Amino acid sequence: MMTLLHLVLGDQLSHSLSALRDAKPQGSVVLMAEVMAEASYVSHHKKKIAFLFSAMRHFAEELRGRGFSVRYVRLNDPGNSQSLFGEVERALADTGASGVVVTEPGEYRLMDEMRGWQARLGVPVEIRDDDRFLISRAGFGRWADRRRELRMEYFYRDMRRHFSVLMRDGEPEGGQWNFDKENRKSPPKGLKGPRRLSWRHDAITRDVLDLVEARFSDHFGQLRPFHFAVTAEQAEAEFEQFVTEILPSFGDWQDAMVAGEPYLFHSMIAVYLNAGLLLPLDVIRRAERAYHEGVAPLNAVEGFIRQILGWREYVRGVYWRFMPDYAGRNAFGAHRPLPALYWSGNTKMRCMASAVRDTIEHAYSHHIQRLMVTGNFALIAGLSVDEVCEWYLAVYADAYEWVELPNTLGMALHADGGLMASKPYAASGKYIDRMSNFCGGCSYDIKDSTGGNACPFNSLYWRFIAVNEDKLRGNHRMANILAGWRRMNEGKQTALLNRADDCLALLEKDAL
């Protein structure tokens, strides 16, 4: 009988995976491999590697439990070639399999490589669509072909209609597509998120933690304490806790930031969704049910669903439509080297220190910290687009390039020149002050823009506007801001630019 090799990548841990569709207990070998090439193409956070290796090993056990023959290569196994291609080649030689089946990888670099595998291996390599996503790459392409501008909002409405999610008689539930006006509340004093589930380490996770400690000690981030779910069952239990206890408050405090509260009311499921332990349509339907059962209000449920049915699918579509060119875009010509504080968290800016330290500890920070603190700072300080993108890809447990690149390069840095967002998300410290409790305890003075102790965000914001005036002029959504800069008296302008230059000089000395 002909044997086929079914390759399952580390972020493809779903039993419904297209590569496994026709895998059979006899006549199929499922290949999974821990390899240095994937584990070190960026300095992935230790927790990200530990999560993925443990989840991969658990998934392999589940497959074995279902009767499959699984060839699982551990990082330290003798003979491990340390690349996916090498492991496929070795498995073909050892098993005599006559072909390879794989689900398309999430990253362009690997897809590009895989397109050459058939010729290099001399056996058929079938690359199947990843139908865990709700729209295929081709389907998104057809949607985009009909548009002059690719705005997420219209894509999202089409997805709502297509999947009939939160719809009533052809109209959006509640008469509006979007309730974000209700989702921007400032945090009241003492706002605290609920306690999260945490999981005991079994023998598999203990082995993986030891392995990561031994082999990746030079990688970014803290390995312990480690409390991610590592199976679909555990991930589902976390999500169920989110739906019943946390989702009701998610909308209201979606954009709030509180020192010492990295999670607040966020779902924390991106890490599981992006590795395949949870499936998008399941979580969307579960959240929709919570609304219909009166468990959570519409503003929360709609906002949550939009992230998954709209945003997540949209960024993936943008990524595949515009790669590889997309990765090279740098609309503002931003090239300043990434400062050390992004790795250390050592800075007097309390908002930045808090976002980076959360990231070191948890391989997580929430979307407003990513967009409006570390992302906004990178934008207004003109940090290197490549280095910032690599940082986000490395440090977050949920990050794969298909989701990271559009979010960082497009959304946060506006380096795609406005393909995704109609205006740059540049903001002064005032935004951070309104949405957080950071500024009160900060060494810098949020009310000051030009003095020796002024909040760096304030002057860097105006410097960003001034330096990029020509590029921003064509954008009508920036007209008021540009007019504000031009109206400012020259003395104030000079003082702002001087303070911004001082901040950049301090940044270079790792002293900001």
**213: enclosing H helix or E strand:** helix 203-215
Q: Is 341 in the site for ligand SF4 (CB under 6 A)?
A: no
Number of residues that bind ligand DLZ (CB under 6 A): 17
Q: Is 238 in the site for ligand DLZ (CB under 6 A)?
A: no
Q: Is 9 in the site for ligand DLZ (CB under 6 A)?
A: yes
Distance CA 318, CA 388 (A): 19
Sites for ligand DLZ among residues 22-41 (CB under 6 A): 33-35, 38-39
Q: Is 351 in the site for ligand SF4 (CB under 6 A)?
A: yes
Q: Is 438 in the site for ligand SF4 (CB under 6 A)?
A: yes
Residue 33 contact, options ligand DLZ, ligand SF4, none, Cβ 5-8 Å cut-off depending on partner type: ligand DLZ
Residue 454 contact, options ligand DLZ, ligand SF4, none, Cβ 5-8 Å cut-off depending on partner type: none
List 29's β-bridge partners, or say none. Answer: 5
Distance CA 430, CA 457 (A): 9
Question: Which residues neighbour 243 within 8 Å (Cβ) at sequence distance 6 or greater?
Answer: 286, 287, 290, 295, 296
- Interface residue with ligand SF4 among 429, 449, 450, 495 (CB under 6 A) is 429
Residue 100 contact, options ligand DLZ, ligand SF4, none, Cβ 5-8 Å cut-off depending on partner type: none
Q: Any alpha helices (H) in 261-332, and if so which ranges?
A: 270-273, 280-292, 298-305, 313-322
Pattern 389-428, ligand DLZ, x by CB under 6 A:
-----------x----------------------------
How would you label 373-399 residue by residue, b for 16+ Cβ within 10 Å and e otherwise?
bbbbbbbbbbbbbbbbbbbbbbbbbbb
- Interface residue with ligand DLZ among 6, 17, 44, 429 (CB under 6 A) is 44
| Smallest distance from ligand DLZ to CB 125, Å | 16
List 70's β-bridge partners, or say none. Answer: 30
Paired tokens of 4: 């086929």
| Smallest distance from ligand SF4 to CB 421, Å | 21
Number of residues that bind ligand SF4 (CB under 6 A): 14
Residue 412 contact, options ligand DLZ, ligand SF4, none, Cβ 5-8 Å cut-off depending on partner type: none
Residue 44 contact, options ligand SF4, ligand DLZ, none, Cβ 5-8 Å cut-off depending on partner type: ligand DLZ
**SS3 call for 16:** coil
- Supply the DSSP symbol for 284: H
Residue 353 contact, options ligand SF4, ligand DLZ, none, Cβ 5-8 Å cut-off depending on partner type: none
CB burial class (10 A; 0-12, 13-18, 19+) of residue 333? Answer: exposed
Residue 34 contact, options ligand SF4, ligand DLZ, none, Cβ 5-8 Å cut-off depending on partner type: ligand DLZ
- Supply the DSSP symbol for 326: G
| Smallest distance from ligand DLZ to CB 177, Å | 31
Backbone angles phi, psi at 7, to 5 degrees: -85, 130
Pattern 47-66, ligand DLZ, x by CB under 6 A:
--x--x--------------
In this structure, is the dihedral angle defined by the CA atoms of residues 45, 253, 233 and 88, taken in order, positive or negative?
negative
Nearest residue to ligand DLZ, scored by beta-carbon proximity: 10
Question: Which residues neighbour 409 within 8 Å (Cβ) at sequence distance 6 or greater?
Answer: 326, 327, 329, 385, 389, 415, 416
Name the site residues for ligand SF4 (rule: CB under 6 A). 349-351, 429, 432-433, 438-439, 442, 444, 446, 455-457
Name the site residues for ligand DLZ (rule: CB under 6 A). 9-11, 33-35, 38-39, 44, 49, 52, 84, 105-107, 110, 400
